[in-house]
Amino acid sequence: MRRTLLESLTRSPLTESPPVSDDAALAELTASVNRAACRRLGRSLAIREVDAGSCNGCELEIHALNNAFYDLERLGLRFVASPRHADVLLVTGPVTRNMREALERTYRATPDPKWVVAVGACAADGGIFAGSYAVAGGVGAIVPVDLHISGCPPSPLQLLQGLRALLESGSAA
């Protein structure tokens, strides 16, 4: 026991080195998302995340948008607790039969104009869960989708790029 304690004091941590960050690219991307939100909406962008049956891998990356590194709220992009306050529904996972009605009700509760963004390979067509008795289909099979962000899971930067593309292009429903 004493030996283990001494070793833990002298040994370096058993962790990997962090990836090299490109702060300038991240700052440019987040600022451009914010500019696009202000141009399209005249205010910040409110996002409601809906897990329709994901394995939670996509959620880990979405949660990272709120961490100290990405810190989206400093740019006026914020996650909201109710679809009634949202501009964007960020939907992950294949839509399971159990979550189908919840997704439909969330969509109806979101005021117009609104966008639906399907996040991850499963949200496109069910991904690795397609064909399961528990899966109703991809997000597009249940509600209209404006944008799909690919990846399994997509990285926070891919999510930001998707939000920027959404704001800079098509119109909301």
Q: Is 128 in the site for ligand SF4 (CB under 6 A)?
A: yes
Taking contact as CB under 6 A, which single stretch among the options 38-46, 65-73, 122-130, 163-171 is the one that binds ligand SF4?
122-130
Q: Is 70 in contact with 64 (CB distance < 8 Å)? A: yes
Q: For ligand SF4, which is the closer residue by CB, 32 or 66?
A: 66
What's the 3-state SS for 106-135? Answer: HHHHCCCCCEEEEECHHHHHCHHHCCCCCE
Q: Is there binding between residue 122 and ligand SF4 (CB under 6 A)?
A: yes
Examine residue 140 and tell whether it contacts ligand SF4 (CB under 6 A): no
Could you tell me the smallest distance in angstroms from the CB atom of residue 49 to ligand SF4? 13
- Which tokens belong to 29? 């991307």
Smallest gap from residue 129 Cβ to ligand SF4 (A): 7
Question: Can you give 48-67 as a three-state secondary structure string?
Answer: EEEECCCCCHHHHHHHHCCC
For ligand SF4, give the closer residue by CB, 36 or 118.
118
Give the C-alpha separation, 123 to 148, whole Å: 8
Q: Give residues 153-172 in contact with ligand SF4 (rule: CB under 6 A).
A: 153
Residues near 81 by Cβ (< 8 Å), separated by ≥ 6?
48
**Distance in Å, CB of 134 to ligand SF4, minimum:** 14
By CB under 6 A, name the binding residues for ligand SF4: 54-55, 57-58, 92-93, 120-122, 127-128, 152-153
